[in-house]
Amino acid sequence: MLNNARACQTCGATIPAFTTAYTLRLQLFAEGGEIHITPDDLAEDHERRLLELYREAECADPQEMMDEVFESYTLTICERCRHEFHDHFMQFLKSLKDTI
């Protein structure tokens, strides 16, 4: 590509240096919140449960474990893809409003 042109990371179209490119960022992260402890929780064998969790973690893929807590993506996109993402996201949000 010439003159610092870039490629749209979703459709592959060339984004000329003199036009606007868009940055799309998506972050997914685990929500922290209140912990509700029940009498059953207090009665659980905590040492056994911690040992189970430790064994599960030993066998797990570290990246998969990290992805369950936090993922981040950044894409450079062209104007056409920006409009498509915007339209799809607005439709998605509208569908949520209808169900809440």
Over range 26-51, report the average pLDDT: 89
Domain membership of residue 15 (yes or no) is: yes
Angle at 95 between CA 94 and CA 100, to 5 degrees: 100
Domain membership of residue 40 (yes or no) is: yes
Model pLDDT, residue 1: 44
Q: How many domains does the chain have?
A: 1
Domain membership of residue 94 (yes or no) is: yes
Model pLDDT, residue 6: 94
Number of Cα atoms under 13 Å in the Cβ half of residue 57: 8
Model pLDDT, residue 100: 57
Domain membership of residue 93 (yes or no) is: yes
Domain membership of residue 42 (yes or no) is: yes
Domain membership of residue 1 (yes or no) is: no
Q: Which residue has the higher pLDDT, 56 or 83?
A: 83
Over range 31-36, report the average pLDDT: 86
Question: What is the rounded CA–CA span in Å between residue 22 and residue 25?
Answer: 10
Q: Which domain holds residue 30?
A: 6-99
Q: What is the pTM of this model?
A: 0.65
pLDDT in tens, 3-22: 789 999 999 999 999 999 99
